[in-house]
Structure 1
Amino acid sequence: MRRLALRTGIRWKISIAIAAVGALIAVALSLVVHNAARVSMLDNAREVQLSQTLFAERMYDTTKEAKFGTKINDPGLPAQLREKTKQGRRATLVEGGGVPDIWAAVPLGNGTVLSSHSRLAERSTTIIKDLDRALLVGSAAVVVGGSALGVLIGGQISRRLRKAAAAAGRVAQGNTDVRVRTAIGGVVRDETDELARAVDALTDALGERIEAERRVTADIAHELRTPVTGLVTAAELLPPGRPSELVRDRAQAMRTLVEDVLEVARLDSASERAELQEIALGEFVERRVRAVEPDAEVTVLRESWVSTDPRRLERILGNLLANARKHGGSPVEVSVEERVVRVRDHGPGFPEALLREGPSRFRTGASDRAGQGHGLGLTIAAGQARVLGARLTFRNAGADGTGGAVAVLWLPEHAPTTTGSFPVVALPGRP
């Protein structure tokens, strides 16, 4: 069962955490201060009430009259105070909530009790209310300030992590010269720098391994070129016959494989540069498709002039058509709309692994496609597209993905320069 997940940024997580902690601390301190202030005021009120009652006791000894609001054997005297006075003890009591009553009682002898009570002074109640209001405002200020601090701290960390993720994404796209540590910058050193150093170390290790594998592949293919060429030449000298045809066919296939492997190695080295020319894309595609795949249906929806390398573009088209012919089904349709070229067949479609991960060398797909070839055609097409600064995507047509394979080549508006970069285009209104 799929579990719901709430996605949010680290900035807001830190801000919420700081705000929550600040709120808890503010509430706890407010309760402590409120209770302490209330207890202090009540204790002071009880002392004042008892002092007045004691003074009234001295006056009673002289005048035998209860003065200053005191009463003799008050029937409303709380039972707790009555018990204390029976023990011959002076006592005070706070009764009621909100604005409480303050009681004081002293024994006079022979079971007589002198007592007095009054409500807590309104001034004290006002002071407590003002204190509560100040505590509330202070707590809100702490929460808001904590949230703002959390946004600042979290924003700094979030920016550094986003820069690191963007740099790692460029590395994943093949730009191994990018350094994550340099990308995140900053003066303060924290765990993101450790992460950046680890990613940079991983990038260096992977780059060295990939380069070593590329050199081995290129060296093996280069060493095989001479004997394979000799094998092809020798096969041409064999007498006519079916066995000779099989030998020539396999020798030619081996030669094509060696050339493809060398091309892949050159593309992996990122040293290839496009030789640009201005061409009418629709006319060029139609002419090249007619030459290699006469049965294909070519449609030019909208013509466009593009700056690209015709040789590499022809290589991409040839590989896409060859893939459609070998692994797809008729008819093969090619359409051109401005800078977009689509090649579609009506076969079983691309394998799920290719759609998910992209072309992979020496992997031709599962049993749903014919499985012929060496899996280098689409790999070379994707590599040549990168040299052109283009984007090559793969998908399956039809609502259920069984309407045939569709390869789409998106040529860039601005072609790469001879150094492999892209020209800087001035924005409108700027030199």
Structure 2
Amino acid sequence: MARVSLRWKIAALAAATACLVVAAVGVLVHVWTAQDIRSRAEAQASNTLYSAMDTYRRTGTLAEGAELDPAALPAELRHPADDDRHTAYDGRVDGNLGPSVWAAQRVGDPDSPVLAVQVNMSPELYGLHRLDVIMAVASLVTLAAATPLAVYGAGLLARRLRRVSETAGRISAGDLDARTGPTKGGDEVADIAATVDLMADSLAQRLRTERQFTADVAHELRTPVGGLLAAADLLPPGETEDLLRARVRDLRGLVEDLLEISRLDAGAEQAVRAHVPLDSVVSEAVARTGLDTEVAVIDAAHADTATTAPTVETDPRRLERIVSNLVVNAHRHGGTPVRVTVEGRTVVVRDHGPGFPPELLRDGPSRFRTGATERGSGHGLGLTIAQGQARLLGAELRLDNAPEGGAVATLHLPD
């Protein structure tokens, strides 16, 4: 369904309202004027009949255009029941005559003729028709002038709402410094803008508190974890020592990951760029994981021909970190075989497992959540760090599922 701007909706509503008002006023004026014309015609006919009746009774002559028993007299006036004056409307039109109002009165006894006069309303009704045309033209002119004003006013409101919407979108995308700022007018739009800014302030404060807490915890854990690792080295060789050393190494890796995330969140990290061959960096990163992973370099122009990947300007250490995290995540939560493809400036990590869950594709990676079923749904720190490092490098990291199954992580480096 096509999306209609609020600006045009308001303009259409204003135009429709103006049309309804114009139509209502036009109908009321027409009806009132028509009734007034008929009332005045009846009064004129009655007065003319009174004068003509007086002249006829005094002189016996017809005056004021009066007639005795005219053929066109309406049936209800041919046999008046008394000697009073009566009026009737005649809607017949004969050339320029009609519609008209008749007034009639019997001149004497019940067998005497009826004296009648006719008042033609065609000039007044023609004037009413001209009034209708003038009102219609004036209404169209007014509507033509008012519609652009309504569009302009609706545009002002729509721009203010769009500004608030854009700010909310930037906040939703992660820009916690986005603010609508002061808006003109103390209306509901200004209230919405102020509420969005207040929400952003509160959200930013909470996130800063959370990030600071994460950084403080990781920093404070660094020393005791180092002590645990040193103490593990003093244990006699054996299964217990190996198990303890492995758990301490895992704990140290978690602390280092937390510190890395806190630095990325705080914007404290800076990329040290250099011109490096992309295939060599990717191959070395995969080799350091120690996992069975296939690496292929594809020529973009000849998809079936192996070739050397281009040289890119990037931070090789951070690029290795991204690739290694993607490969480890593919082995840990996906399924073999895992294949890494380098094509141009794009690195694709593909596994053959169940694929990324829908909530990850919808919301993105979340820290402190892992894909292991025994620890709940979602993903852990690996993808979160990869996403943060990619953002620092100005690269784009997309997470998708292959149609035939399996997760696909695509890293595209900037030119």
> What range describes the TM-score normalised by the shorter chain of this pair?
0.7 to 0.9
Distance 1:358 1:41, change over 3 A: same
What does residue 135 of structure 2 align with?
135
Quote the residue 1:339 is aligned against: 345
Q: What SS class does the counterpart of residue 346 from structure 1 fall into?
A: coil
Q: Secondary structure of the residue that 1:181 maps to in structure 2?
A: coil
* Distance (whole Å) between structure 1 residues aligned to residue 6 and residue 276 of structure 2: 49
Letter aligned with residue 413 of structure 2 = L
2:298 pairs with 297, 300, 303, which one?
A: 300
Which stretches in structure 2 are left out of the alignment for 5+ residues? 301-308
Aligned equivalents of 1:65 and 1:381: distance in 2? 115
Query: Is contact 1:354–1:365 with CA below 8 Å preserved after alignment?
Result: no
1:89 aligns with 2:84: yes
Partners of 1:202 and 1:370 lie apart in 2 by 32
- Matched letter for residue 85 of structure 2: R
Residue aligned with 1:116, SS: strand
Q: Give runs of aligned pairs for residues 112-151 of structure 1, distance below 5 A.
A: 112=112, 113-117=114-118, 119-121=120-122, 123-151=123-151
Over residues 173-197 of structure 1, what are the superposed CA-to-partner deviations in whole Å (9 max), with x where a residue is unaligned? Answer: 3322222115xx5x44432222222
Q: Which residue number corresponds to residue 406 of structure 1?
A: 408
Shift of 1:263: 1.0
Aligned-residue offset at 1:7: 4.4
Question: CA 1:321–1:358 in 2, change beyond 3 Å: closer, same or farther?
Answer: same
Q: Which residue of 2 aligns with 1:416?
A: none
- Structure 1, residues 339-375: CA drift from partner, whole Å, max 9, x if none? 32211111110112211111111211364x9989981
Q: 3-state DSSP class of the match of 1:204?
A: helix
Is the 1:300–1:337 contact (alpha carbons within 8 Å) kept by the matching residues of 2?
A: yes
* Aligned sequence identity (%): 42
Q: Contact 1:15 / 1:147 at 8 angstroms: preserved in 2?
A: yes
Distance in 1 separating the partners of 2:20 and 2:142: 10
Deviation at 1:205, TM superposition (A): 1.5
Change (3 A) 1:138 1:283: farther
Report the residue type matching 1:388 in the other structure. Answer: L
Whole-Å separation in 2 of the counterparts to 1:275 and 1:232: 31
For residues 4-403 of structure 1, the aligned pairs below 5 Å read 7-66=3-62, 69-74=65-70, 76-82=72-78, 85-96=80-91, 99-111=98-110, 112=112, 113-117=114-118, 119-121=120-122, 123-181=123-181, 187-292=184-289, 293=291, 295-302=293-300, 303-365=309-371, 367=373, 375-398=380-403, 403=405
Q: Is the 8 A contact 1:281 1:306 kept in 2?
A: yes
1:328–1:405 CA contact under 8 A, matched in 2: yes
Question: Aligned equivalents of 2:142 and 2:379: distance in 1?
Answer: 67
* Cα distance in 2 for residues equivalent to 1:306 and 1:105: 108
Instruction: Assess if the C-alpha contact under 8 Å between 2:286 and 2:293 holds in 1.
Output: no
3-state secondary structure, aligned to 1:214 = helix
Q: Residue 299 of structure 1: SS of its match in structure 2?
A: strand
Structure 2 CA distance for aligned equivalents of residues 46 and 404 of structure 1: 92
- Cα deviation for residue 129 of structure 1 reads 1.6
SS in 1 for 2:181: helix
- 2:306 is aligned to none
Cα distance change of structure 1 residues 409 and 108 upon mapping to structure 2, 3 Å threshold: same
Report the TM-score, using the length of structure 2 for normalisation. 0.87
AA paired with 2:259? L
Farther off after superposition, 90-99 or 323-332: 90-99
Distance 2:368 2:312 in 1: 33
Computed over aligned residues only, the root mean square deviation of the Cα atoms, in angstroms, reads 2.7
Q: Partner of 1:427 in structure 2?
A: none
What is the rounded CA distance, in whole Å, between the counterparts of 2:344 and 2:84 in structure 1?
Answer: 105
User: Counterpart of 1:278 in structure 2: which amino acid?
Assistant: H
- Please say if residues 290 and 296 of structure 1, whose CA atoms lie closer than 8 Å, have aligned partners that are also in contact: no
Separation in 2, partners of 1:370, 1:348 = 17
Q: Per-residue deviation at 1:275?
A: 1.7
Q: 284-293 vs 352-361, which deviates more?
A: 284-293
Q: Write out per-residue CA displacement over residues 221-271 of structure 1, whole angstroms, 9 at most, x where no aligned residue.
A: 111111111212222332232222111111111111111111111112122
C-alpha displacement of 1:9? 2.4
In structure 2, do the counterparts of structure 1 residues 275 and 309 end up closer, same or farther at CA, with 3 Å as the change threshold?
same
Higher mean alpha-carbon deviation, 265-274 vs 351-360, is at 265-274
For residue 118 of structure 1, report the CA deviation from its aligned partner.
5.1
Conserved in 2, the CA contact under 8 Å of 1:12 and 1:150?
no
TM-score (norm 1): 0.84
Distance 1:253 1:194, change over 3 A: same
For the Cα contact (< 8 Å) 1:164–1:180, is it kept in 2?
yes
Matches of 2:375 and 2:214 in 1, distance apart? 26
1:221, 1:291 → 2: CA distance? 25
Which AA in structure 2 matches 1:386?
R
The count of residues paired between Structure 1 and Structure 2 equals 400
| Deviates further, 102-111 or 316-325 | 102-111
Partners of 2:45 and 2:102 within 8 A in 1 = yes
1:76 shift after superposition = 4.9
Counterparts of 2:168 and 2:197, CA distance in 1 = 9
After superposition, the Cα gap between the structure-2 partners of 1:337 and 1:192, relative to the gap in structure 1 and judged at 3 Å, is farther
Q: Distance in 2 between matches of 1:323 and 1:228?
A: 24
Task: Name the CA distance, whole Å, in 1 between partners of 2:150 and 2:61.
Answer: 68
- Distance in 2 between residues matched to 1:235 and 1:259, nearest whole Å: 19
Q: Which amino acid aligns with 1:168?
A: A
CA deviation after TM superposition for structure 1 residue 97, in Å = 7.3
Stretch of structure 1 that moved more, 293-302 or 233-242 = 293-302
Q: Whole-Å Cα distance in 2 between the matches of residues 108 and 405 of structure 1?
A: 109
